[in-house]
Amino acid sequence: MPRRKDAGSRPAHEVVVRRNVMVPMRDGTKLAADVYLPKGVRRAPVLIERTPYNKQSSSEVQVQAPDYFASRGYAVVIQDVRGRFASEGDFVPFHDDGWGANRDGYDTVEWAAAEPWSSGKVGTIGGSYSGATQYRMAPTRPPHLTAQYVRESSSDYHEEWVYRGGAFELAFSLGWALNVTRTNLAQIAPAAALERLRGVLEQGMKEIDQWRGHLPLIDFPLIAGLSDWYRAWLRHPDDGPFWWQWNVAHRHADIDVPICHLGGWFDIFLRGTLENYTGIRRRGGPRAQGAQRLIVGPWAHGPGGIGSSRHGEVDFGRSAAEDFNGLRLRWFDHWLKGIDTGVMDDPPVRLFTMGVDRWRDEAAWPLPDTPLYALLFSGGEEPVCEVPERRPAQLRRAGAGGVARQFRLRPGPSDADEGGQHAEHPGRGL
């Protein structure tokens, strides 16, 4: 008979909040944090989110994570990253969160571990950019970093954030830069010009569709002199050392911490979720390799949809909705409190199969029984796709000079239980 697992932490504590606690970094810059403490707990394990989106309204605040976890005996720290909102310093996306001269993630973890209300065990939470601050921190190996739970974030910021497939992601990058600048004006604008610039940027957000047609891209007047990192992005269209300084995949071998990676089939950063899971499981340190977990559901970007079965016009059924905080509680109760929740007895990969609309557990990703087929382009009157069982498939279509190109056809988790078939040229999507 299997041993009964503990049900986990219960909401048994009032929550005390300390606002704008200033946390010193190694260069003397101080970053602001709100600290949520469980009343009556002398030393609590700590969960940290580091966000550029305002610690008072971050994605974790939106899903009530601080109160949820603090009432269950955790201390929760929500911090504005360097140069944002109440924190000191200059904001350059990704720059100071990882393994550079400033190591704000490392310093924050070690500060939290040393506080009198801390048990010394620290975990990290957050997604999107707050997931990036986690992944960027991991290779620095803060001694007290015990576990991470990353929702929907990136591995390679050139490919997944700014220049997807080599093309500048204008709609995403321009809008993101404009909004980040608008919400950071108090930090970066001269006081005398603050209100005027706020009006200009708010009008710019309303007219974003027109501004996407502005040329040259690098001469975007609304944020000139305010967010020069955007111009730096445009000056570096090719992958190389400029982008490698932030590339998490290049540092997978340095990561040695248990991580649960949560992604969505419709998420813009799914590639990063999968790359980080597979890369760390294959090349990470001894504590990390066997302690990576992957969950991919039928979700788009953001935490709000995880608890819903409907996405867009499709309802994937009741089982598609997950209790996001509950999933994470099992993870952190195990790693930070030593409670036997059974989370590490589960298979390492959990995938939602769209079409049949049910979850499946797997031992690995990519799926180990995935067959590969060859797709060939050759001369012909009409495109034909033949997929004989256990044999190469051919895709024939008319082409200049009858030039043939070879593709691979592999099942993917988006169709039925046995997987659909996706064609890929080596290194390129079809």
Helix (H, G, I), strand (E, B) or coil at 52: coil
E-assigned strand segments in 125-187: 145-151
Residues 6 or more apart whose CB falls under 8 angstroms from that of 206 comprise none
CA distance 56 to 80: 9
Q: What is the pTM of this model?
A: 0.87
State residue 108's pLDDT score: 98
Phi, psi of 331 (to 5 degrees): -65, -50
Q: What is the pLDDT along the chain (430 residues), one digit of tens a residue?
A: 334 466 689 999 999 999 999 999 999 999 999 999 999 999 999 999 999 999 999 999 999 999 999 999 999 999 999 999 999 999 999 999 999 999 999 999 999 999 999 999 999 999 999 999 999 999 999 999 999 999 999 999 999 999 999 999 999 999 999 999 999 999 999 999 999 999 999 999 999 999 999 999 999 999 999 999 999 999 999 999 999 999 999 999 999 999 999 999 999 999 999 999 999 999 999 999 999 999 999 999 999 999 999 998 999 999 999 999 999 999 999 999 999 999 999 999 999 999 999 999 999 999 988 887 766 665 555 444 555 444 444 444 434 444 444 444 444 444 434 443 343 333 333 3
CB atoms inside a 10 Å sphere around CB 213: 7
State residue 368's pLDDT score: 85
Please give the CATH number for the structural domain made up of 15-157+247-362: 3.40.50.1820
Domain ranges in the chain are: 15-157+247-362, 169-236, 373-425
Helix (H, G, I), strand (E, B) or coil at 183: coil
